Structure 1
Amino acid sequence: MTSYVAPPTSSEVIPLRAETARIFNIQRYSLNDGQGIRTLVFFKGCPHRCPWCANPESISGRIQFVRREARCLHCTPCLRDAQECPSGAFEQLGRDVTLGELEQTLLKDEVFFRSSGGGVTLSGGEVLLQAEFASRLLASLRRQGIHTAIETAGDAPWPRLLSLAQQCDEVLFDLKILDAEQSRQLLRLDLDRVLANLAALVRAGIRVIPRVPLIPGFTLTPANLERIFARLTSLGLTEVHLLPFHRYGEPKYTLLGKRFQLAGVAEPDPQTVAAVVAEAEALGLRVTLGG
């Protein structure tokens, strides 16, 4: 597998405008990331660098191109055009969409939303990087009675987060490492701002569902989990989603020509996960595994 990243042009900057957004995937029929059957929109670009990220293609805000060697026919000459590639070996990661185009696509699944109580979740990457577009999209969907949610790390100025949260039926809020220095160095995350935003969402009466990835050696430590659960109970939150580490995204790193930092790290065994669930439930938290 080899990768090719298009040379930088003005079109590769994340379009921080209300009219267009840069996304890299739309996932239908999801039973996670919110209630009911959901359609997920993955926004491209993320300011954080979580070593366990399962979507490394989301990190760069640039449009990228990759070539899957196993599928490549070695055409001569290769046009490096994902739409023209006869074997699907050449793939474009990221595309720009207008508000109308994306909304029309999402509403194709409306019958599933209505029948299951599901809806649309905006994920990433980090949707807060494209907050103006996302806020307009969510507001339009809600006017049509569609259940809306975002998944976010919450690390942005409060007015930007609030503009999205006010258009959501629920906010899936990621909590990772509750040590400020480790969060800054490992994740490029401002923990003080994250925790202040979390508390502000709760005070504003917005439904918040905390989500905790269980990553051996990083988040899955007794001290870190104790801090997280204590923070949740102090805010009066009563549920948490626990997301055990998996390695499904590892092949994507190879495809992108990157090194997966957690190569060789084992997924947590069922006994370890069960112990974490028991710890959370003992504090009165309702636990969902896997989101």
Structure 2
Amino acid sequence: MEYSETGRGTPEGEAQVRILNILYDSVVDGEGLRSVLFFSGCPHHCPGCHNPHSWSPQGGKVMKVWEVVEQALLNPINEVTLSGGDPFYQAETVRHVAKILKTNGKNLWAYTGYTLEFIQDRGSIAMKELLSYCDVLVDGGFELELRDPTLPFRGSSNQRIHRLGTW
């Protein structure tokens, strides 16, 4: 794999990100068979969250952006989901992961407890840039009283699926 494919040796590729786990074959984190990158840290702390261990920004392990990208690119699956935690919590570095994956032709879904409107209107520049690389955004915090296990790709009825890119 060439350095340019992963960002290795570039300032963006050498940036550090905290990651909890990488799955290579999920069918529940977006349409189709997908790889899933679980990032550490979530400020929402939704009651009933199925990943409360992901809330701590100190969880998981520190990896360089290029290392995360390399792991995702080793898998021939074209679809990748950014999850967590909340990938927008680490938008400053996760945006680099997303940019390099998009450059390599990956289809990106992202899950966030923020709403699309919050990111667009009040989100940081890094959050807006991360959003720009997403083909699909599943937004909104999990609400236990609105839990609905029949909904595809989300846990509660307040969460929305936004098709942003060319999916």
TM-score, L = length of structure 2: 0.71
Instruction: Give, in whole Å, the separation in 2 of the partners of 1:53 and 1:162.
Output: 25
TM-score, L = length of structure 1: 0.43
Q: Report which of the two structures shows the higher radius of gyration computed on alpha carbons.
A: 1
1:108 maps to 2:70: no
Q: How many aligned positions are there?
A: 138
Q: Is the 8 A contact 1:22 1:44 kept in 2?
A: yes
**Aligned-pair identity (%):** 29
Match of 1:25 among 7, 21, 28: 21
Instruction: Give, in whole Å, the separation in 2 of the partners of 1:244 and 1:101.
Output: 30
Report the alpha carbon displacement of residue 172 of structure 1 after superposing the two structures with TM: 1.5
- Label 1:220 to 1:138 Cα distance change in 2 as closer, same or farther (>3 A): closer
Deviation string, structure 1 residues 99-139 (Cα, Å, up to 9, x no partner): 111111111112x32xxxxx111111111111121111111
Moved over 4 A (4+): 242-245
Instruction: Give, in whole Å, the separation in 1 of the partners of 2:147 and 2:43.
Output: 23
Structure-1 residue corresponding to 2:32: 36
What residue ranges of structure 2 are gaps of 5+ in the alignment? 1-13, 158-167
Instruction: Give, in whole Å, the separation in 1 of the partners of 2:62 and 2:141.
Output: 29
- Label 1:244 to 1:61 Cα distance change in 2 as closer, same or farther (>3 A): closer
1:127 maps to 2:87: yes
- Label 1:62 to 1:146 Cα distance change in 2 as closer, same or farther (>3 A): same
Deviation string, structure 1 residues 243-272 (Cα, Å, up to 9, x no partner): 458xxxxxxxxxxxxxxxxxxxxxxxxxxx
Instruction: Give, in whole Å, the separation in 1 of the partners of 2:153 and 2:73.
Output: 30
Match of 2:146 among 213, 219, 228: 219
Instruction: Give, in whole Å, the separation in 2 of the partners of 1:126 and 1:43.
Output: 7
Structure-2 residue corresponding to 1:96: 62
Q: Is the 8 A contact 2:17 2:64 kept in 1?
A: yes
The secondary structure found in structure 1 opposite 2:93 is helix
